[in-house]
Amino acid sequence: MTTSCKVSICVPTCNRPELIVECLDSCLAQTHTNIEILIGDDSSDSRTQALIETRYAHDARVRYVKNEPSLGQARNVASLFARASGDKIALIHDDDYFANDGIASLLELWQQHPQLEVAFADQYEVDAQGNVDTSKSAELNADFHRTALAQGLQKQPGRTGLVQMFPNNGWMANADLVKRISYRDDVGMCCDYVFGSELCLAASQVYYLHRYVSYYRKTDVSISHSTRGSTFAASLTAFEFVTALELDASLEPARRLALRRLAPIVVSLYAKNDAPLAALRVAFEHPYAYAYGFDARFYYHLSLIARAFITMKWRGLPPSAPRFP
């Protein structure tokens, strides 16, 4: 089954020709060879296109499309999913890459669990030059609930997405499910998290493999970094998304766990963006996020809120919530 199963590896890219070669070479080096590599290029120039045409034109598995005009992150990824012809779909971003047996390791899980719909595993953390930091890699996975004790079929697939255990790339899932959920263009920079949550909520079986299958490159240059201090931040959209979800009662603890992480970030964002009343509301509606007053962040955030009130009064502005796009 595994050798006959075709896997569509989707690679969205934007202005990273210096990094995408490592990503694509890792895909082509997979021990599971029944693959297609779909590239959606949102770049503002032709450097990536020239590189692909020069380096990979001979390999029919590489299928490149230059988006003109550019589609944006969510629509670019959605277009890749729509183009996929494989039985399974995997996603890897242009600055990240797979271990040589990454696809095979994930695909083998379907041999053990034929009804499986979604699989994911651990990610190495690497710096801009590609150097692996083993201690940070362990911390990264532990921070997102990926530990040895968690390996196996997840008892609550939806929880896996909500608490952000499911990674933003380096995963594999049934193509029909991925195409049905796809990426949403109405949630801004939060599209990765919303997709992962909705995918896991829709899946009947999700498996976490405690093994490194991909490399996550951590750099200072990314879309999320450019918006993280503003009201366009992914964390704020994620907070609104999780809050509004209609969930089965059994998943309410997962919602609470997700909001425990998100609420303090949102309080800080509101306080720093001239919305101290909104910040106060979120802080006092989610006291568990601050250990009911025993978390030092609570008092730091109160000081941010107080400063915002004083600053806005001095500027003659009402302390109302900012408008969102």
101: buried, middle or exposed (CB in 10 Å: 19+, 13-18, 0-12)? middle
Residue 251 lies in a domain: yes
Q: How many domains does the chain have?
A: 2
Best CA proximity match to 192, nearest among 153, 222, 215, 212: 222
Question: 177-188 burial, b if ≥16 CB within 10 A, otherwise e?
Answer: bbeebbbbeebb
Quick one: CA dihedral 313, 316, 321, 325, positive or negative? negative
Residue 58 lies in a domain: yes
- pTM value is 0.92
Q: Domain boundary residue among 169, 188, 222? A: 222
Question: pLDDT at residue 318 above 90?
Answer: no
Residue 117 lies in a domain: yes
Residue 324 lies in a domain: no
Q: Domain boundary residue among 169, 201, 222? A: 222
Does 205 share its domain with 286? no
- C-alpha to C-alpha distance for 40 and 55, rounded to whole angstroms: 16
Does 157 share its domain with 42? yes
Q: How confident is the model at residue 269 (pLDDT cuts 50, 70, 90)?
A: very high
With vertex at residue 189, the alpha carbon angle to CA 185 and CA 195, rounded to the nearest 5 degrees, is 60
Residue 2 lies in a domain: no
Q: Percent of the chain beyond pLDDT 90?
A: 87
pLDDT (average), residues 48-61: 96
Q: Domain boundary residue among 190, 222, 254? A: 222
What pLDDT is recorded for position 223?
44
Does 290 share its domain with 176? no
Question: pLDDT at residue 229 above 70?
Answer: no
pLDDT (tens digit, 9 = 90+) per residue, 74-101?
Answer: 999 999 999 999 999 999 999 999 999 9
Residue 120 lies in a domain: yes
User: Which CATH number is 65's domain given?
Assistant: 3.90.550.10
**pLDDT, mean over the chain:** 93
Does 205 share its domain with 264? no
Question: pLDDT at residue 120 above 90?
Answer: yes
Domain housing 88: 7-222
Does 103 share its domain with 247? no
Residue 134 lies in a domain: yes
Best CA proximity match to 41, nearest among 11, 62, 82, 8: 11
Q: How confident is the model at residue 233 (pLDDT cuts 50, 70, 90)?
A: confident
Residue 260 lies in a domain: yes
pLDDT (tens digit, 9 = 90+) per residue, 12-41?
Answer: 999 999 999 999 999 999 999 999 999 999
What pLDDT is recorded for position 220?
65
